[in-house]
Structure 1
Amino acid sequence: LVDDPVPTLVAEAARAEMLVLGSRGYGTLTGYLVGSVSLQVLRKATGPVVMVRGPRHTTVQQRFDEVVVGVQEAEEAGGPVLEFAFSAAAERGATLRAVRAWSIPSVLSWSPGSMWLADQAGGLEPLHKEILADALGPWRQKYPDVDVIEHVEIGAASEVLLSNSGRASLVVVGRRTHDTGLRRLGSVTHAVLH
């Protein structure tokens, strides 16, 4: 097609199950960067977008046999991300590593009710483990053959997710959607892309 790439790719993606984009691949450093067209398409596309970069060059024989999914949206908003991750793991016969990062909240962000919930769960980390397990529950029932590793860790979400993706053939993250339909890439998605 001869046209402006961003609106053309977004329009084609609207009619497809998935859009697949490649990395720029201009060398060692810039090969890891995502181009402006890809970033614009990622923000505007309504369905799943898969970013594929060139093959990894490793000196040691490694196996990349996991699908890693970042689970921050444990409510209904996280459903499409988890469904995509479980489906991809099932198709590959891969282990699914579900990663949830947490941090100590500021005093101002905690109400007495939320502190009570944390106390009932035995602290903040057990509370986040419970949130992750609850989010994964329906998908474990739907995909009983997928082996799942649950990983909850304190730290910045992008760092925790990336540090757990060393064996991943696929990393799945979501995009934030606002009421106006505007989708934006958060800091975690940016970190994974770059």
Structure 2
Amino acid sequence: MFHKEGHKIILITFMLCIILSMFSHFLIENEMISKAIIAVLIVFLVLILQFFRNPKRNYTLDTNHAVSPVDGKVVVIEEVFEKEYYNEKRLQVSVFMSPLNVHITRYPVGGNVVFSKYHPGKFLVAWHPKSSEENERTTVVVNNPAFGDVLHRQIAGALAKRIVNYAEKDQQVDQASESGFIKFGSRVDVFLPLDAKINVKLNQKVKGGITILAKK
């Protein structure tokens, strides 16, 4: 099953691979080179299909849990001053996604969307210290009964050239439901209250909507 954000790209890639394979087969006399080109095209198509995959998962919803918004690896766990929305200190947990990860962004908690904003910006590598403030990004805040306001921020990276955000202010959302999509790699930051009990460690691999980032 593939995500709707990839349908157009998958179709275009599939058609291009067929056309280029036919050209390679009929116009290149060297059989080894022709087969090598076709093999590369097949690998490229498989990578595109893998990137836009949308695996079915069973989610366990819990108001007292904040789950990872994306698949990837935990790269930041620290207390920071968040100045866009809270203007106070928060616990930040950041998850980095490689191009091989599932790139659907999910709501860490359920509740009411109280803030949703898109910011145009640069395309620094996702692990750059200033990427969360200078890169293209979206900020979404959901008010949750247990955690209060929980902010998650999609951040574009050097390869991510488009962020899709589905969140709208005053919308009621369910935990682990789709919040957006980031195309071709990046990271997502989650900002939690200081009394939240962090449930992950640095470099831990996590799954979107499944792995518990923090408990209340």
Name the larger-Rg structure. Answer: 2
Structure 2-normalised TM-score? 0.25
- TM-score w.r.t. structure 1 length? 0.27
Instruction: Determine which structure has the larger strand proportion and give its number.
Output: 2
Structure that is richer in helix per residue: 1
